[in-house]
A and B are shown apart, each in its own frame.
Chain A
Amino acid sequence: MKISDLFRFSVDNLRRRKGRTVLTVIGVVVGVCAIVVMMSLGIAVNLATDEMLQNWGDLTKITVQSYGAQQGTPDLDDDMVTKFKALDHVVAATPMYYPSFYGSVTAGNNNRYEASWANVIGMDADALEPMGYELVTGNWLDGQNLGKDKIQVMLGVQSIFNFTDSRLSWNNPNKQKYPEYDTEEAMYSGIPSNLPQYDENGTLLNPENFFFDPMTSKLTYRLEVGYDDEGNPKYKDYELVVTGLINSNNDWDIRYGVVMSMTDVKKIEADYKRLTGQSSGGGGGVMYSSSFGMDTGDTVNVGGYNNVYVKVDNVSNMPAVEKQIREIGYQLYSMSSEREQIQGQVAQTQMMMGALGLVSLLVAALNIANTMTMAIYERTKEIGVMKVLGCKLGNIREMFLIESGAIGLVGGLLGVVLSYLLSLLLNYLPQIMTFLGIEGNIDIAGMFGLSYMSQMMPDMQLSIIPIWLVVVALVFATVVGLLSGIAPANRAVKISSLEAIRHE
Chain B
Amino acid sequence: MPVMIRTEQLRKVYRVGKEKVVALANIDLEIEQGEICCIVGQSGSGKSTLLNMLAGLEKPTRGLVAINGKKVSAMDENQLAVFRQENLGFIFQSYNLLAQLTAAENVALPLMFTGMSRRKRMKRAVYELKQMGLGKRAGHKPTEMSGGQQQRVGIARAFVGKPQVIFADEPTGNLDTHTTRQVLRTMLERAESHNITFVMVTHERELSSCGDRIITLQDGHVISNEKLDEATKKANRDALFADLDEKTLMAEEAEQAEHAEQAQQARFAEKVMHNVIQADLPDTQNPGGNTTGEAGTGQNP
User: Which residues of A are at the interface with B, using a C-beta cutoff of 8 A?
Assistant: 1-2, 4-5, 12-13, 16, 381-382, 385-395, 497-498, 501, 503-504
Asked if A390 and B114 sit within 8 Å, CB to CB, the answer is yes
Chain B: residues with Cβ within 8 Å of the partner, total of 32
Q: A389-B109, A389-B110, A395-B113 are in contact. Are A501 and B78 (CB under 8 A)?
A: no
Question: Is B177 located at the chain interface by the 8 A CB criterion?
Answer: no
Asked if B117 and A393 sit within 8 Å, CB to CB, the answer is no
Determine the main DSSP class of A at the interface with B.
Answer: helix
Q: A12-B100, A389-B109, A501-B92 are in contact. Are A5 and B81 (CB under 8 A)?
A: no
Question: Is B115 located at the chain interface by the 8 A CB criterion?
Answer: yes
Asked if A503 and B173 sit within 8 Å, CB to CB, the answer is yes
Can you show 22 pairs from A to B with CB atoms below 8 A apart?
A1-B114, A2-B115, A2-B118, A5-B112, A5-B118, A382-B99, A385-B98, A386-B98, A387-B81, A388-B57, A388-B90, A389-B90, A389-B110, A390-B86, A390-B110, A391-B113, A498-B58, A501-B57, A503-B92, A503-B94, A503-B169, A504-B94
Number of A-B contacts (CB under 8 A): 68
Residues of B within 8 A of A13 (CB): 100
Q: A5-B118, A498-B52, A503-B173 are in contact. Are A393 and B77 (CB under 8 A)?
A: yes
Asked if B173 and A390 sit within 8 Å, CB to CB, the answer is no
Residues of B within 8 A of A393 (CB): 77-78, 81
Docked complex: B75-131 residues within 8 A CB-CB of A = 77-78, 81-82, 84-86, 88, 90, 92-94, 96, 98-100, 109-110, 112-115, 117-118
Asked if A390 and B115 sit within 8 Å, CB to CB, the answer is no
Besides A12-B100, A386-B113, A390-B86, 13 more A-B contacts (Cβ < 8 Å) are: A2-B115, A381-B96, A382-B98, A382-B99, A385-B98, A389-B109, A390-B82, A390-B110, A390-B113, A390-B114, A391-B113, A392-B82, A498-B58
Residue of A nearest to B97 (CB): A385
Asked if B117 and A388 sit within 8 Å, CB to CB, the answer is no
Asked if B173 and A497 sit within 8 Å, CB to CB, the answer is no
Residues of A within 8 A of B161 (CB): 390
Asked if A389 and B113 sit within 8 Å, CB to CB, the answer is yes
Least CB distance from B20 to A in Å reads 19
Question: Is B35 located at the chain interface by the 8 A CB criterion?
Answer: no
Alpha-carbon separation in the docked complex, A5 to B94 (Å): 26
Question: Is B157 located at the chain interface by the 8 A CB criterion?
Answer: yes
Residues of A within 8 A of B173 (CB): 503
Asked if A392 and B112 sit within 8 Å, CB to CB, the answer is no
Alpha-carbon separation in the docked complex, A113 to B212 (Å): 127
Least CB distance from A500 to B in Å reads 9
Least CB distance from B227 to A in Å reads 29
Alpha-carbon separation in the docked complex, A1 to B118 (Å): 11
Residues of A within 8 A of B86 (CB): 390
Alpha-carbon separation in the docked complex, A387 to B80 (Å): 9
Asked if B81 and A391 sit within 8 Å, CB to CB, the answer is yes
Alpha-carbon separation in the docked complex, A339 to B215 (Å): 87
Residues of B within 8 A of A503 (CB): 92-94, 169-170, 173
